Chain A
């Protein structure tokens, strides 16, 4: 009896849910997603959508993918996995770059930006805020088109969200590629409009501001100018109708736009930007700090933001010095000697790193860093040199011990101890940071990366990682754009003035004069100032010098030492510089250092840039879906 009443009770309980009508049930609003109307009803809601769009900005160079920094023999890749073995063993680049790093075709992103711009009009909050948010989305859209233009030349410009009408005929949705000039004109025009719509805010680095729009305008204009001017040297890199190839007569106009836009930033009308100079008595540390200092950094105009616990990257962990690191890993990228020797002497001259004297005898150095003396302060800010300090620990980079008879004793693991002749106590014969031949992830080129490495404790730990932002536009870049544009417009004295500002921050005391400014100078200054920042990729392309630098011919030591400071100097293989300690008890040279150029055994190929590499390939699937697209030249 008791059992029955329990059952009845349960049945009764069931009735309490059963009376809701079916239509009501089906009309219930979903709890897990918002309607467009709801999403755009609240400023905080819209901001989070905008945040998502910011998060999806594209750049070829990403701190979260350290491999994207591995190209062009500016670094030796020493990591060992399937991804990284692709460098230094292949003679040519695929048309989409290694691992497809030079490709993006994210029209989904553009569509969502367009939808955002269309929907924000109906939002129910203040017009002022709506206008700012819309301007930010327009900035992101122009920014993405800029990335597309850099990689592909002319691309379809779509500024409205497209809807398919299910008629079975999608041809009305197929947009042909614009000309290369049109896409740059679009970016410049957008930036020009946006500079007055966006707030003047030199403190908000990670969100679009008037300064960011102007910086984008200056850079797009100078790129377009150089593409117009220098594509005449490679006439086969073009497509009919100007889809690739800007008419040469437009170069001057673009350079004028670039100069004017950069001067607008320099004048301070878009916010108070300036060169970073918080540590004036140590310019190398100052240059490194420019990249990790997130506190009121006057140099940064626009950056891709990272924040611990939310969005972070492992660039520091992947590339940190191995010895005493927070994880037993690091050293994935080693700056090459090719790059290191490009840093000038302080008397404005170029010279190889002096390993031997005029007669070919080795030069003996008291301290390891002495060999790099009197060079551009940016060297120490870009590269961790042997004998310098990172995170309060001196790096221990040396390849072995050289005896009086010239023979070398070294180890097969980092910091190995071995007996030396005439001494029964084993001694260290190789650095704790390497280089150890035929191993991975140590200082195989004799250097570590310094730029973008985060000195904060925990940055090299997998569980914490780093929040150093990647700088997209910075003030020194604007100065160099102004210098380049002024030079191309035949105003070398003005160019020298802008360039000297950047060089003074690097420790140069003798200013360059207008007569010193040449094409080689412009290219070189950009190469060292922006080393390992990703600018070099576009410089190689827009000056049309890549096929001369990477001509497929292997390099010997004489090649390496020759031609420093020349824009088209061959750099087909990444060389290293290995320090050796002298062991000659009783001799004045005992305990001193000598250096030898070294080509890693990992380097089995010499790079060859094909003319078809100047523009990234468009995937066959994309070409198939839209027959109006034309293929890239020489592919």
Chain B
């Protein structure tokens, strides 16, 4: 029997066209974005460390949709329109939030179209006047520390660290050089200075990125200063 190949082809194309229409949902299109702020100032964190969770009620079991804040303290999710509840799980982040900070322990967000929602938190301490500069082979960071939380939830500074990295991710996970100062060794919290030597970089590049991280006793996540690019 002679097979008429173009009929088969026509049939296949016809099926292909017919099968895509009905059974698919539209993808989510509303972008929810926001950032962590303290009195309007952004909070800087470590990459992929501080997580948040979004819940939506009314669809069977309530499991969270979650991710982590970016190093600049921002978050974004592509969602369907609806009402969401956002939380930061207990103990995450170098800040107080929710019950401990006398705030509601959930932020309700109405997503309808692209939505922006900042997330107010209270950091244990903040880094002021962070200045990162390079001279010759050295990177120097000077900064001041200011304690924000002073009640029963106050945390001591365990250590401060200057991170130098080849990329924008200058943190405890990706770095080429670090200098750490123990919290007890800080003499003047209004002027702390750290410096580190830039090691030989392979392949060579004439710039590095630097940032300062502050670790609090009993808290996993570090508070960071903005990452600076330093050309030498």
Contacts and interface: CB of A to CB of B under 8 A. Distances in A.
A624 B90 contact: no
A612 B172 contact: no
A635 B218 contact: no
A620 interface: yes
A236 B172 contact: no
A437 interface: no
B63 A624 contact: yes
B172 A620 contact: no
A242 interface: no
Interface string B144-175: 00000000000000000000000000001100
Interface in A606-635: 606, 608, 610-612, 620-621, 624, 631, 633-635
A491 B144 CA distance: 48
A574 interface: no
Contacts of B173: 91, 552, 605-606, 608
Interface in A355-403: none
B62 A634 contact: no
B220 interface: yes
Contact of A635 (B61, B62, B90, B219): B90
A535 B23 CA distance: 53
B77 interface: no
A634 B61 contact: no
B64 A620 contact: yes
Interface string B217-229: 0111000000000
Contacts of A588: none
Decide if the interface of chain B is mainly helix, strand, loop or mixed. Answer: loop
A612 B220 contact: yes
Interface in A280-318: none
A634 B63 contact: no
A620 B63 contact: yes
Interface string B86-118: 000111100000000000000000000000000
A463 interface: no
A350 to B, nearest CB: 25
Contact of A634 (B64, B92, B178): B92
Interface string A551-563: 0110000000000
Nearest to B89: A635
Interface in A594-614: 605-606, 608, 610-612
Contacts of B219: 236, 611
A169 B72 CA distance: 46
A234 to B, nearest CB: 7
B124 to A, nearest CB: 12
A633 B172 contact: no
Given A234-B218, A620-B63, A624-B62, A608 B90 contact: no
Interface string A534-573: 0000000000000000001100000000000000000000
Most buried by A among B61, B90, B219: B90
A552 B91 contact: no
Contacts of A552: 172-173
A235 interface: yes
B225 to A, nearest CB: 18
A199 to B, nearest CB: 47
Contacts of B89: 631, 634-635
B62 A611 contact: no
Contacts, number: 41
Given A553-B172, A635-B89, A611 B63 contact: no
Nearest to A239: B90
A631 B90 contact: yes
Interface in B51-93: 61-64, 89-92
Contacts of B63: 620-621, 624
A235 B218 contact: yes
Interface residues on B, range: 10 to 19
A633 B91 contact: yes
Nearest to A552: B172
B91 A635 contact: yes
Interface in B17-69: 61-64
A634 B220 contact: yes
A553 B218 CA distance: 18
Nearest to B176: A554
A620 B178 CA distance: 38
Contacts of B64: 620
Contacts of B220: 610-612, 634
B62 A236 contact: no
A620 B61 CA distance: 9
B61 A624 contact: yes
Interface string B194-230: 0000000000000000000000001110000000000
Contacts of B172: 91, 552-553, 608
B198 to A, nearest CB: 16
Contacts of B178: 553
A537 B89 CA distance: 25
Interface in A198-244: 234-236
A12 to B, nearest CB: 49
A236 B216 CA distance: 12
A235 B152 CA distance: 13
A234 B220 CA distance: 11
A608 B92 CA distance: 15
Nearest to B161: A553
Contacts of A605: 173
B61 A611 contact: no
Contacts of B218: 234-236, 611
B161 to A, nearest CB: 9
Contacts of A553: 172, 178
Contacts of A611: 91, 218-220
A620 B54 CA distance: 13
A634 B90 CA distance: 5
Contacts of A631: 89-90
Nearest to A620: B63
A605 B89 CA distance: 26
Contacts of A606: 173
A234 B219 CA distance: 9
Nearest to A236: B218
Given A605-B173, A611-B218, A612-B91, 5 more contacts: A552-B172, A611-B91, A621-B63, A634-B89, A634-B90
Interface of A: 91, 234-236, 552-553, 605-606, 608, 610-612, 620-621, 624, 631, 633-635
Complex A-B, nearest 9 residue pairs according to Cβ-Cβ distance, in ascending order = A634-B91, A236-B218, A552-B172, A610-B220, A624-B61, A620-B63, A91-B173, A611-B220, A635-B89
13 contacts: A235-B218, A236-B218, A552-B173, A608-B173, A610-B220, A611-B91, A621-B63, A624-B63, A631-B89, A633-B90, A633-B91, A634-B89, A634-B220
